[in-house]
Each structure stands twice: as structure tokens, then as C-alpha cells.
Amino acid sequence: MKREAHFVICVGNKGYAASLELRKIYQVLPDKVGLKHHQIRVIDESGEDYLYPEEYFVPVRLPQAVGRAVREATA
């Protein structure tokens, strides 16, 4: 997965069905330690940020206005 991704789409949620919705866009937060363990930190359905398996997500590049709207919606 590209490390500069700021947003990802959830493509797997086994074991985390209450925390991650399939096909939903999530904001990625920097976590260098998590990356070493093949995990990424996202703001999940609880509104908190947690580490999840990297393979559950696909990076996406959003237009600037869409990215801004997504960040504002999660703030």
C-alpha cells in the first residue's frame, strides 16, 4: 500500500464488522509503528482511531474538495 495515502476504502472487515463498514472511505492517520506491523490507523465507526490490518483497505486519491469534505465530516 502506498504510504502517502490519506484516505482508504474498506474492502475487508473480518472480526471488525461493528467497527469497519465495507466500501466506506476512511481517513488514515500517520502511525510509523503500525506500518512496520502491516497495520494502518484509521478513524473507525466509534469515531476513535485504531490500528487495523493493512490488507483490509485500498488507498484512494480523492479530489481536493472531496477530501476536505470528508475530513470536515469526521471532525
Q: pLDDT tens for residues 48-66?
A: 999 999 999 999 988 888 8
Instruction: Encode pLDDT of 34-46 as tens digits.
Output: 999 999 999 999 9
**Within a 13 Å sphere around the CA of 18, how many CA atoms are in the beta-carbon half?**
2
pTM tops 0.85? no
State the architecture of 7-74 in CATH terms: Roll (2.30)
Burial class (CB in 10 A: 0-12, 13-18, 19+), 3: exposed
- pLDDT score recorded for residue 28: 93
Domain residue limits, the chain = 7-74
* Residue 74's pLDDT band (cuts 50, 70, 90): low
Round to whole Å and give the CA distance between 46 and 21. Answer: 11
Is the pLDDT at 4 greater than 60? The verdict is no
